[in-house]
Amino acid sequence: MTGAHDMKEMHDAGALTITQDETSCVVYGMPKEAFKFGGVDSILPLSAIPQLITQAPTRGCLKRPELELT
């Protein structure tokens, strides 16, 4: 089992799953595999990930929040 498979399992169980985008990654291998396996809700630049994480609980979201990133 790989991390990408584990992320898919978390995604399927209802977890909010986020990966770093290719542009801001030093190495894009694992995020690419997680996306390929269908385990990713959001692909964001590294700088935007903390905002999504901190907003999700206050919005009552476990999965796929429609968040306005500023």
**pLDDT-based confidence at residue 6 (cuts at 50, 70, 90):** very high
Could you say which DSSP state residue 19 is in? E
Among 3-12, 37-46, 61-70, where is mean pLDDT lowest?
61-70
Average pLDDT, the chain: 84
Q: Give phi and psi for 59, each to the nearest 5.
A: -95, 0
Give the model's pLDDT for residue 13. Answer: 86
pLDDT in tens, 32-63: 999 999 999 999 999 999 998 888 776 555 55
**Tokens standing for 3?**
């991390």
Counting Cβ atoms within 10 Å, is residue 31 exposed (0-12), middle (13-18) or buried (19+)? Answer: buried
User: Which residue type occupies 36?
Assistant: K
Pairwise CA distance, residues 53 & 56, whole Å: 6
The per-residue pLDDT for 16 is 87
Q: What is the pTM of this model?
A: 0.72
